[in-house]
Amino acid sequence: MKNQIRFYDTTLRDGEQTIGVNFSIDEKVALAKSLENFGIDAIEAGFPAASAEDFEAVEAVSEAVQEAEVVGLARMVKKDIDAAIAATKKAKHQTIHVFIATSPIHRETKLKMSKAEIIAKIQEDVAYTKSRVDKVIFSPEDATRTEPDYLVESIDAAIAAGATTINIPDTVGYDLPEEYGELFDYLHDHVKAFDQVAWSTHTHNDLGLANANALAGVAHGATEIQGTINGIGERAGNVDLIEAAVTLQVRHDHCQQAIGLNLQQATKIAHQVESYSKVKIAANKAIVGRNAFAHESGIHQDGYLKNPATYEILSPAMVGASASMPLGKLSGSHAVSAKLKELGYEMPIENIAHLFPAFKTLAEKVSIVSDDQLIALAEQEVAEG
């Protein structure tokens, strides 16, 4: 039997770090409820120490969510941790996520802290958090650019201090999939209490590898994927949870993990995030883009009409979408005939052959022929007999 992968959504926190995105409290609550219905296991509701409004939003989400864990993010600073604990205290399943950077560039230029000082901070602040809540996630920020032996040292310290999940952020989307997978193998072999905690992936998309990296992490022992809906987030964004989930589902022949999401809601929730964030979904975006199940060329339309599986590796219904066959200059007579039939014009093939040159001329001009335009051509054909 396959293990079920956990999905951890950070649309409301890392996703909101997208330039220009600012969800209202009502939108955060509505999104959290949709995420919960979608089957998300943990919702990172925000960074309560960031502002009074962030605090209020995390509180509101904590009250609204029933089944999923609600997570508050905190730097390793006591006032951040206190704020995260206070804002999530009404959550049915409360979790606190603490992070500190461990890579040389962050230690030396951002934090100006030595390796030993960071280890001491991890010991002190994870223990402080754990003394007040049961579930504590520890993230060594920029883990993938941290010296592996020092990464192990920081994780050992966090586990000894009570962390229950270790998250491995590829903060700047730098790793290649095989490196990210091998990092989990290395941690498996070197972290003293590897089996006593849960392991999570957190991948960014700077090189377009966020999904490949998350799946590599999962193939090498991670049991949870952190990401966002539509992949919104800092710079090029985070792994898109819908892409990760659908990949695991479609390639279940190859992947060892089962998913527990209600995938039929995927398109709807993607559109909700598009609407609230005002970040347009690219037309060619995998799974939820408006072209994801659109077939335009004649060869593809012909194949699709004979058997949708010729050009679709997943049924659009699986993700709550539907296929389309926009009629353009590359479309063939089979597609035109099928569309006419759908519009109530069942014509013999001679009539289609007669109408087709006029369709092609129009398609050259307008690029996509609308239903109304096709009906006008069909009416003309009927009138001419």
Is 170 a residue that touches Zn ion (CB under 5 A)?
no
- Smaller CB separation from ligand KIV, 203 or 301: 203
Q: Measured in Å, how far apart are the chain's first and last C-alpha atoms?
A: 63
Q: Which of 228, 159, 235 is nearest to 198 (CA)?
A: 159
Among 7, 99, 138, 345, binds ligand KIV (CB under 6 A): 99
Amino acid identity of residue 383, one-letter, is A
Question: 203: which residues sit within 8 A by CB, 6+ positions away?
Answer: 169, 170, 173, 175, 180, 209, 210, 211, 213, 214, 217, 227, 238, 239
* Nearest distance, CB of residue 108 and ligand KIV, angstroms: 17
Binding partner of 139, given Zn ion, ligand KIV, none, CB within 5-8 angstroms per partner class = ligand KIV
- Smaller CB separation from ligand KIV, 70 or 378: 70
Cα–Cα distances in Å, from 57 out to 12, 48, 88, 137, 277?
10, 8, 10, 20, 16
From the list 9-17, 159-167, 211-219, 318-326, the region that binds Zn ion by CB under 5 A is 9-17
Q: What are phi and psi of 206, to 5 degrees?
A: -60, -30
* Nearest distance, CB of residue 4 and Zn ion, angstroms: 24
Question: How many chain residues touch ligand KIV (CB under 6 A)?
Answer: 9
* Nearest distance, CB of residue 122 and Zn ion, angstroms: 18
The DSSP 8-state label assigned to residue 70 in this structure reads: E
Is 141 a residue that touches ligand KIV (CB under 6 A)?
yes
Q: 223-242 mask for ligand KIV (x: CB under 6 A)? A: --------------------
Is 9 a residue that touches Zn ion (CB under 5 A)?
no
- Smaller CB separation from ligand KIV, 169 or 177: 169
Residues 206, 172 contacting (CB under 8 angstroms): yes
* Nearest distance, CB of residue 173 and ligand KIV, angstroms: 9
Is 139 a residue that touches ligand KIV (CB under 6 A)?
yes
Rounded distance, CA 89 to CA 296, Å? Answer: 52
**Collapsing DSSP states into helix, strand and coil, what is residue 99?**
strand
Binding partner of 141, given Zn ion, ligand KIV, none, CB within 5-8 angstroms per partner class = ligand KIV
- Dig out the tokens for 325 from the structure: 């066959």
What are the E-state strand segments in the chain? 3-4, 6-9, 42-46, 69-75, 94-101, 135-141, 165-170, 198-203, 224-227, 257-258
Is 171 a residue that touches ligand KIV (CB under 6 A)?
yes
Residues 293, 325 contacting (CB under 8 angstroms): no
Is 142 a residue that touches Zn ion (CB under 5 A)?
no
Q: Which residues in 10-39 contact Zn ion (CB under 5 A)?
A: 14
Q: Which of 50, 62, 53, 51 is nearest to 87 (CA)?
A: 62
Q: Residue with the closest Cβ to Zn ion?
A: 14
Q: 14-43 mask for ligand KIV (x: CB under 6 A)? A: x-----------------------------
- Smaller CB separation from ligand KIV, 73 or 287: 73
Residues that bind ligand KIV (CB under 6 A): 14, 99, 139, 141, 167, 169, 171, 202, 204
